[in-house]
């Protein structure tokens, strides 16, 4: 029988959708009833937005749970989880709300399902304020799989702001337990590659200009590596709406991955988009960590669930990461220690070690 409700204040720290994602995923996994109050209280449009609602409904459906108060603009929800089951589940933000954020909330849950899952996620694949789907596939996937599971991500259609309309299918099998990870050794950068894309009515020249500007920018700081950024015209049948953007990945000798990315907006010239992505990548390479600032917070829930001690080395710890740690400690009772890196080469840098004693979550169905 379910225990007392976990009470979560949705207005603290990051104060946004992330609190909802972390707390409902952990509630679902641990079978703990949850109440979240003051949801996005400080935001310009407080309460649930369409993408938050579709994430909550998806978690509810994954475990046949009960969800109350879940409507657009609502600032309080209660959620009572039941048993996580596999199978086919669909979530549609009906907007350009990010499919990657839907994946973030559902993935830890279906790892502990009774059978394999297929998630059909609809919305924006390359949306502002969220990881681009290319980031999820090129950076998040290879690193998160170090926890000891595999998933397949099939991009059916790409969708852009403001309409969305993208679709991604994620397939994965459940695991008995997650392994801890140890990402401490950065190695040296061995290659830099990426893709600059245009979709819809935008001319191919925009993709070439973004790529060229990004390469020029990286060249100023990293001279001895070939930088391979492919300009891509998205096929008409695989993209909905108009969009342009770029993602650049740096890979190191120890298999660490870092990214910089940027999306085009109306009236912003292509060079500027390319340079923004390049500068983000370079900033992420300067701090000496083994993960970039966007991967940092996405690994916290997995570290909390793993069986043993996980360590990652990062640059400055982001508010998103602090928020994820706070709720992983409060709800899952994982233990985190964040300390400044002692290594000589990190002495001059803002480098931290995030260590977690995971709870060793075991899949009751396997």
Q: Are 60 and 107 in contact (CB under 8 A)?
A: no
| Mean pLDDT (whole number) for 119-145 | 96
As given in the structure block, the two tokens for residue 153 are 């991500």
- How far is residue 286's CA from residue 282's CA, in Å, rounded to a whole number? 6
Summarize pLDDT for 244-263 with one digit per residue, the tens: 999 999 999 999 999 999 99
Nearest-angstrom CA–CA distance, 257 and 317: 17
Residues 325-344 have a mean pLDDT of 96
Of the CA atoms within 13 Å of residue 181, those in its CB half-sphere come to 27
The CA-CA-CA angle for residues 227, 233, 237, to 5°, reads 140
Q: How confident is the model at residue 235 (pLDDT cuts 50, 70, 90)?
A: very high
- In degrees and rounded to multiples of 5, residue 319 shows phi and psi of -60, -35
d(CA 170, CA 193): 24
- Would you state the pLDDT for residue 347? 81
Residue 30 annotated as part of some ligand binding site:
no
Over pLDDT 70: what percentage of the chain?
Answer: 99
Integer Cα distance of 305 and 322 in angstroms: 17
Same fold across 6-183+291-359 and 189-286: no
CA distance 280 to 38: 32
Catalytic residue chosen out of the listed positions 52, 89, 320, 326: 320
List the domain boundaries for the chain: 6-183+291-359, 189-286
224 among the known binding-site residues?
no
Angle between the N-to-C axes of helices 17-30 and 50-62, in degrees from 0 to 180, rounded to the nearest 10: 0
CATH fold, domain 6-183+291-359, is UDP-n-acetylglucosamine1-carboxyvinyl-transferase; Chain (3.65.10)
Q: What is the mean pLDDT of residues 347-355?
A: 91
203 contacts: CB under 8 Å, gap ≥ 6: none
Backbone angles phi, psi at 220, to 5 degrees: -60, -30
Residue 313's pLDDT band, with cuts at 50, 70 and 90, is very high
- Residue 344: pLDDT band by 50, 70, 90 thresholds? confident
Residue 320 bears catalytic tag:
yes
Q: What is the pLDDT of residue 153?
A: 98
Domain 189-286 has CATH 3.30.360.20: yes
Is 257 annotated to bind a ligand? Reply is no
Instruction: Say whether 271 counts as a known binding-site residue.
Output: no
* Helices 319-332 + 17-30 axis angle, to 10: 30
Residue 346: its pLDDT value, please? 78
The residue-averaged pLDDT of 188-210 equals 97
CA angle 173, 174, 175 (to 5 degrees): 125
295 is in an annotated binding site: yes
> What is the residue whose two structure tokens read 């982001």?
318
* Model confidence pLDDT, tens digit, residues 37-66: 999 999 999 999 999 999 999 999 999 999
Q: What value does the mean pLDDT of the chain take?
A: 96
pLDDT on residue 3: 66
Q: Which of 250, 252, 273, 338 is nearest to 300 (CA)?
A: 338
Taking only the tens place, the pLDDT of each residue in 159-185 is: 999 999 999 999 999 999 999 999 999
Q: What is the pLDDT of residue 221?
A: 96
Please enumerate in sequence order all residues whose Cβ is within 8 A of that of 79, keeping only pairs 6 or more positions apart, or say none: 24, 27, 28, 33, 34, 35, 36, 56, 59, 60, 65, 66, 67, 68
């Amino acid at each position: 029988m379910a225990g007392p409700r976990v009470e979560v204040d949705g207005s603290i720290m990051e104060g946004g959708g992330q609190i909802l994602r972390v707390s409902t995923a952990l509630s679902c996994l641990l079978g703990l009833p949850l109440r979240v109050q003051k949801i996005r209280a400080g935001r310009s449009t407080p309460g649930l937005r369409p993408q938050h609602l579709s994430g909550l409904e998806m978690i509810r459906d994954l475990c046949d749970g009960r969800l109350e108060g879940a409507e657009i603009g609502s600032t309080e929800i209660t959620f009572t989880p039941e048993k996580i089951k596999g199978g086919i589940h669909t979530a549609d933000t009906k907007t350009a709300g990010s499919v990657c954020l839907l994946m973030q909330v559902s993935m830890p849950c279906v790892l502990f399902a009774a059978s394999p899952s297929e998630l059909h996620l609809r919305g924006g694949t390359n949306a502002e304020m969220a990881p681009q789907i290319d980031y999820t596939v090129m950076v998040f996937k290879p690193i998160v799989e170090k926890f000891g599971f595999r998933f397949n991500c099939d991009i059916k259609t790409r969708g852009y702001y403001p309409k969305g309309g993208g679709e991604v299918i994620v397939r994965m099998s459940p695991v008995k337990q997650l392994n801890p990870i140890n990402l401490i050794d950065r190695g040296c950068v061995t290659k830099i590659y990426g893709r600059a894309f245009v979709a819809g009515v935008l001319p191919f020249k925009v993709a070439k200009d973004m790529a060229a500007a990004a390469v020029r920018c990286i060249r100023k700081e990293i001279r001895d590596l070939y930088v391979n950024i492919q300009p891509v015209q998205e096929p008409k049948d695989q993209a909905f709406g108009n969009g342009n953007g770029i993602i650049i990945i740096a890979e190191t000798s120890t298999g660490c991955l870092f990214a910089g990315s940027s999306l085009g907006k109306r009236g912003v010239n292509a060079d500027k988009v390319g340079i923004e992505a390049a500068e983000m990548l370079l900033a992420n390479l300067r701090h000496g960590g083994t993960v970039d600032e966007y991967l940092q917070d996405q690994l916290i829930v997995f570290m909390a669930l793993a069986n043993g001690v996980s360590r990652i080395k990062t640059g400055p710890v982001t508010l998103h990461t602090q928020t994820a740690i706070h709720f992983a400690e409060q709800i899952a009772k994982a233990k985190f220690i964040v300390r400044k890196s002692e290594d000589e080469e990190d002495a001059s840098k803002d480098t931290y070690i995030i260590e977690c004693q995971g709870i060793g979550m075991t899949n009751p169905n396997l």
